[in-house]
Structure 1
Amino acid sequence: MTTESATPLEPMAVVVMGVAGCGKSTVGEACARRLGWHLIEGDEHHSSSAVEKMRHGIPLTDEDRAGWLARLGSLLRQEAALHEGAVLTCSALKRQYRDALRAAVPELRFVFLDIDQQTAQARVAARPEHLFPASLVTSQFATLESPIGEPNVLRVSATDPLDEVVATVVAWMTSSDRSPK
């Protein structure tokens, strides 16, 4: 079997998603660097009222997230118009949130960083400077609608070594066969 170096056939966009503590920012940044794509850090685009709610341990509602998802979709659409790849970090916990992003970029792909609640809780508790308190991890798991079975979704374990996760994502994004693994 011959291995050839594959490159994307067209500029692509991918969302690195999952609950708090799964490693979205770390994986997203590493993938963007490896792919040479623009990183859009979803947390940087929350409204000030949403940030305040999270800082006070109040879970966000669908209404709180609507404007945020619209901003993120617009940013992804702008990157597509520039014909540059983009990696977005975004929890995208519900199907309706993912569909809102898909509406902005129809061939959008999602990398689901799957993690158990106990590990996510420990990771979030270990970063007290982050805007998201550990007390909200439970609400994230309660909100999560698994993307497994949706189109253009790759599930990876959030506890695998970073290099392995990034290699898996980059191989999937640069392969002509982007079916879920």
Structure 2
Amino acid sequence: MTTVQRILVMGVSGSGKSHVGRLLAARLGATFIDGDDHHSPASIDKMGLGIPLDDEDRREWLEALAGFLADHRERQAPLVIGCSALKRRYRDTLRRGDPGLAILFLNGSREQLRQRLGQREGHFFKGDTMLDSQLADLEPPGADEALTLDIAWSPEVLVETFLRWQAAG
């Protein structure tokens, strides 16, 4: 790929955004930003108690991530962000930072996601209630907005498939 690009790796918690995003960034020589690292302390506390975030909780967080995208776009620097981006309007906020944002949506069944979340240690995301809340809020992107891939595939295959899709686009 010859153009410098900003990429969003999205999906609900447990879909592999951080792992796949880091692999993708390494392949592209890009910076990786984990959206979870930029939640406010209040939002982290709320999620740690098993309370789902609402649109207002996410507003400043999404605007901050859009700021990272805008900064990297202005500097023509590659960037990969891992962020749930559950709703179309959330992705629209991120695209204000870079209208050419490429999106990879990591999709999986509730059972796959539950199993992965059960294996996590030390993460603030807790319980089935929050997973169910994210799945209820999820507005899956269409083919006009993102490439959707199944989390059953290995992270390496996901990255390779996304890169081939981008090269063909």
Paired residue secondary structure (1:27): helix
What are the ranges of 5 or more consecutive residues in structure 2 without an aligned counterpart? none
Following TM superposition, by how much is the alpha carbon of 1:81 offset from its aligned partner in structure 2, in angstroms? 1.4
Query: Equivalents in 1 of 2:127, 2:121: separation in Å?
Result: 8
Q: 2:141 maps to which residue?
A: 147
- Structure number with greater Rg is 1
Paired residue secondary structure (2:73): helix
Query: Aligned runs of 1:149-164 on 2, under 5 Å?
Result: 149-151=143-145, 153-164=146-157
Answer yes or no: is 1:99 the counterpart of 2:117: no
Following TM superposition, by how much is the alpha carbon of 1:143 offset from its aligned partner in structure 2, in angstroms? 0.5
Paired residue secondary structure (2:13): coil
Following TM superposition, by how much is the alpha carbon of 1:129 offset from its aligned partner in structure 2, in angstroms? 1.3
Query: Aligned runs of 1:62-81 on 2, under 5 Å?
Result: 62-81=55-74
Query: Equivalents in 1 of 2:163, 2:36: separation in Å?
Result: 23
- Aligned residue pairs total 168
Higher helix proportion, which one? 2
- Equivalent AA in structure 1 for residue 132 of structure 2: T
Query: Equivalents in 2 of 1:148, 1:83: separation in Å?
Result: 27
Paired residue secondary structure (1:30): helix
Following TM superposition, by how much is the alpha carbon of 1:84 offset from its aligned partner in structure 2, in angstroms? 1.1
Aligned 8 A contact 1:125 1:133 in 2: no
Query: Equivalents in 2 of 1:101, 1:89: separation in Å?
Result: 12
Calculate percent identity across the aligned residue pairs: 38
CA displacement 1:11-59 (0-9 Å, x = unmatched): 1111000011000000000000001111011000001100000000000
Query: Equivalents in 2 of 1:112, 1:94: separation in Å?
Result: 12
Name the TM-score, length of structure 1 as normaliser: 0.89
Task: Report runs of 4+ in structure 1 exceeding 4 Å deviation.
Answer: none
Following TM superposition, by how much is the alpha carbon of 1:75 offset from its aligned partner in structure 2, in angstroms? 0.5
What are the ranges of 5 or more consecutive residues in structure 1 without an aligned counterpart? 1-6
CA displacement 1:54-91 (0-9 Å, x = unmatched): 00000000000000000000011111111111100000
Paired residue secondary structure (2:100): coil
